[in-house]
Amino acid sequence: MTHLSDMDSDDVQRFVDEAEGRLFSKEIIEEARNPHNMARLEDFDGKGVEEGLCGDSMEFYIKVDSGKISRASFFTDGCGPTIACGSRLTRYVKGSSIAKAQEFSPSSLEKLLGGLPDDHRHCAALAVASLRKAIRDYLNRQRQDPTANTVKSSCFHVENEVKK
Ligand code: FES
């Protein structure tokens, strides 16, 4: 049997790739290696922070325009599958309505990623929980500032407040 110490760096990489490929779908590996939208946002309309059962956490940020998520971003100190979950989730919710994003479930995220091993299913739950908290934060801010999502319109010389 070949030991890792006997392998050169290409062999080690091939070994790691094969081991990963047995455990995770190609979607997870691709998303974890090349994550999208992984950054903390300074300028956001909603922010959610969730800590998972394993002790890892995820921050989720959304920008909202006319009731739709115009930008989504995440940050995590978690595992590779969690990075994949955050990345895929930002890509899924971008452009979707708040209502649609609110209904998105961990099992739907798992499906988008070609499934998760049992011991990593909580990574999808962590990502979705942080998104839901970001949405709740956005909605709370809207309630505190009722003019935040309205614009004044003037039709027939009558001023109205209408929802954006
Ligand atoms: Fe902790 Fe994935 S979030 S193992």
Residue 85 near ligand 1, beta carbon < 6 Å: no
* Residue 64, token pair as written in the block: 């909202």
Structural domain harbouring 71: 8-163
Q: Locate tokens 């929980």: which residue?
A: 129
Q: So what's the pLDDT on residue 161? A: 40
Give domain status of residue 112, yes or no. Answer: yes
Q: So what's the pLDDT on residue 163? A: 46
Q: Among 103, 53, 47, which Cα is nearest to 75's?
A: 47
Give domain status of residue 3, yes or no. Answer: no
Q: Locate tokens 């590996």: which residue?
A: 29
**Which of 50, 120, 121, 130 should be mutated for ligand 1, with most atoms under 8 A from CB?**
120
Give domain status of residue 33, yes or no. Answer: yes
Atom of ligand 1 at shortest range from CA of 56 = 1
Dihedral angle sign, alpha carbons of residues 78, 83, 88, 93? positive
How many structural domains comprise the chain? 1
From residue 75, give the alpha-carbon distance in Å to each of 9, 19, 97, 141.
30, 26, 22, 21
**Residue 154's beta-bridge partner residues?**
159
Residue 124 near ligand 1, beta carbon < 6 Å: no
| Angle, helices 121-144/80-93, rounded to nearest 10 degrees | 40
Q: Contact 89/48 with Cβ under 8 angstroms? A: no
Strands (DSSP E) contained in 18-77 are 46-51, 57-65, 68-76
C-alpha–C-alpha distance, residues 106 and 62, integer Å: 18
Give domain status of residue 1, yes or no. Answer: no
Q: So what's the pLDDT on residue 17? A: 75
Give domain status of residue 50, yes or no. Answer: yes
Give domain status of residue 22, yes or no. Answer: yes
Residue 130 near ligand 1, beta carbon < 6 Å: no
Give domain status of residue 91, yes or no. Answer: yes
Give domain status of residue 68, yes or no. Answer: yes
Residue-by-residue pLDDT tens, the chain, 164 positions: 556 567 777 776 776 677 677 789 999 999 999 999 999 999 999 999 999 888 999 999 999 999 999 999 999 999 999 999 999 999 999 999 999 999 999 999 999 999 999 999 999 999 999 999 999 999 999 998 766 654 444 444 433 344 44
125 Cβ neighbours under 8 A, 6+ residues apart: 52, 106
Q: Which CATH number do you get for residue 128?
A: 3.90.1010.10
Cα–ligand 1 centroid distance for 55 (angstroms): 8
Cα–ligand 1 centroid distance for 59 (angstroms): 13
User: For ligand 1, atom 4, which residue shows the shortest CA distance?
Assistant: 79
